[in-house]
Each structure stands twice: as C-alpha cells, then as structure tokens.
Amino acid sequence: MNTKKPLEITLLLASMLTMLANAIIAPSLPAISSAFNTVENVEALTKLMLTLPALTIAIIAPFAGRIIDKQGRIKVLIVSLVIYTLAGTSGFWLNDLYLILLGRVILGLGVAGIMTTSTTLVGDYFEGKKREHFMDLQGAFNALGGLLFIPAAVFLADINWHYTFLVYGFAFIVLLLVPFYLHEPKHHLKQIKNESDLKVSNQIWLVYISSFLTLLFFYIIPVQLPFLLKTFTGINANLVGVAIGIMMISLAISAILSKKIRQQLSFLSMYILGFMLMALGYLIIGFSSSYLMAIVGVIVVGFGIGSLIPNANVDYVFSASKTARKIHW
C-alpha cells in the first residue's frame, strides 16, 4: 500500500470540513426560524448562522499564517479540529438562539485554522504536478463530501433541527486521524528575496479577491435558497437538501474537469469562465418560477464555483511558492 495514501485521505477529509461548515445546516434553517418565531427578526438572525463563521474567518485568517509558522501546522490543526467539533455540535445542546449564534462565531475560529493549515500543508507535502493534481482532487472531494453529509443533515432535520448539528461530530474522526497520519513539515517556503519575486507574489491579491467573491456567491445558495424554495408549493426539507446536493454534484464534476480545461486556458480565462457561469446560474434562479427551473440554475452555479475553487487554489500556490513556475496570464 502507498504510505502516502493515509496522509492524502486525512488531508482531504480535513479540507472537506471547511467547505461543509455552513452547508450542513442549510436544510434546517426554515425549521430553526420557525422554532424561534417569538424572537424579533428571527429570519435574519437565522441566516446569520451561515454567515457568522465566515465573518470570523475573515477576521482571523490573516493572522492564522503567522500562528501556524510559530506554533506548528499540526498543533494548530488539532486545536482547530477540537474547536470545530465542540462549537459545531453546540446547536444540538443549546436552546437559546443567541447562544447558538455565539457557537457559530466560535466555529469560525476552527474553520479558519483548518482552512489555513490544510492549504499550507498541501504546499508543504506536494510539489509540481502532484500538488496541482491534489488541489483538483481536493475541490472534487469537498463537493463529493456534500453528497454524504447534506443528505444526512436533511434526514436529521426532518426528525429534529437540533440533530442536524450532530453532523459536525465527523470532525472528531478527522481529529483522531491527524496525529497518526500527518506530520510537521521539515521545511517552510523561503522568503521573497528580490523585487521580481515580489511582483509574482503580488498576483496573490487577484487570487484573494477571486476567492472572496467565490465564497460570497457560494454562500448565497445555502443562505437564501431554502427560503426561496419554500415559496414553491410542496417543498420540504428533503427537496431543499436535494437542491443543495445537486449543486455539490455539479461542483464536483466541474472541479474534476477543470484540470483538463485549465490546460487549454490561462488562469485569468478560467476566472472569467467561472464567474460568467455563476452569473448565468443566479439569473436563472432569480427568474425561476418552479423548483425544476431553480435546480437548473443551481447546477450552472455549481459548475461555475467548481471551476473557480481549484483554479484559485493552484493559482495561489503557484504565486506564493518560490519553486513554482511563473504564471502565464
């Protein structure tokens, strides 16, 4: 057996947790809103359950890189997984909407740590074509993970919305695997030494902006789609979960195909293609008058996101790494 396989699987599972952090509870949002219908502005507060972790990530992530360089990748990853598990499952134990929202804020700390360390470890463990292949696999694996966890979340939401939060307990399994199969890298990326290197590094800002917009538009689906679909006749939590799951399928297919497409297009062209697909998908959803029409829009959005995420990941490592080739724009 390839000794690297357990390492790769563990890293893929850790990476998957960041993408699913918010999508897991999306099918239960209407039920949560109904359960706390006596709370003022409950619908807006309920939607915050999806966006608060992202706000924490935006605040913490810029400092996470320095923390993992000082404390070590594996140590930070383990602590982040503990936070993710405890804060993620807190909604199962709590019956106060504001305390649940606080738990979502803390969950963002865990997601930020996992996101930063897992991406950094990919750069540490792999090089060249192997790194690019792994990042494509990472994007597909994230989406395919949705096919496992979102149906589970939908099933649990139909029993009781509290049970949906138990899905976050999967992070505990990843926590058990990390000490055995992941190791602290023996080297770190070298610092930029001259101005020409700095120029290449400055291209990272385009990656940051693209990643920000991609995640912003991605979260529109789990945040807003459940409430939109509820306006159609006969839509329940199961059908909401199916819609989000279908997006994950199209995202996975797109992520798998993006490697071949990227061989024909530049990074910039891939960004343009991805955002155009997302724009078209949201136009279809916005004008949809039925569940099936909304599903078509969701599929197109998934294809756009699926092409953008691997492209941004590979672009980031190529821009940041001293060993990477100069990017062709």
pTM of the model: 0.77
Q: What is the mean pLDDT of the chain?
A: 81
More confident of the two residues 79 and 17: 79
More confident of the two residues 98 and 60: 98
Highest mean pLDDT among 29-38, 142-151, 197-206, 264-273: 29-38
Is the pLDDT confidence value at 9 over 50?
yes
Q: Please name each of the domains of the chain with its CATH number.
A: 4-320 (1.20.1250.20)
Interval 123-144: pLDDT, tens: 888 887 787 778 777 766 776 6
Mean pLDDT of the region 260-268: 78
Query: In which band, very low, low, confident or very high, does the pLDDT at 15 lie, cut at 50, 70 and 90?
Result: confident
Is the pLDDT confidence value at 191 over 90?
no
Percent pLDDT > 90 in the chain is 32
Contact of 271 with 311, CB cutoff 8 Å: yes
More confident of the two residues 31 and 238: 31
Poorest-pLDDT segment among 66-75, 78-87, 203-212, 314-323: 314-323
Query: In which band, very low, low, confident or very high, does the pLDDT at 328 lie, cut at 50, 70 and 90?
Result: very low
Is the pLDDT confidence value at 317 over 70?
no
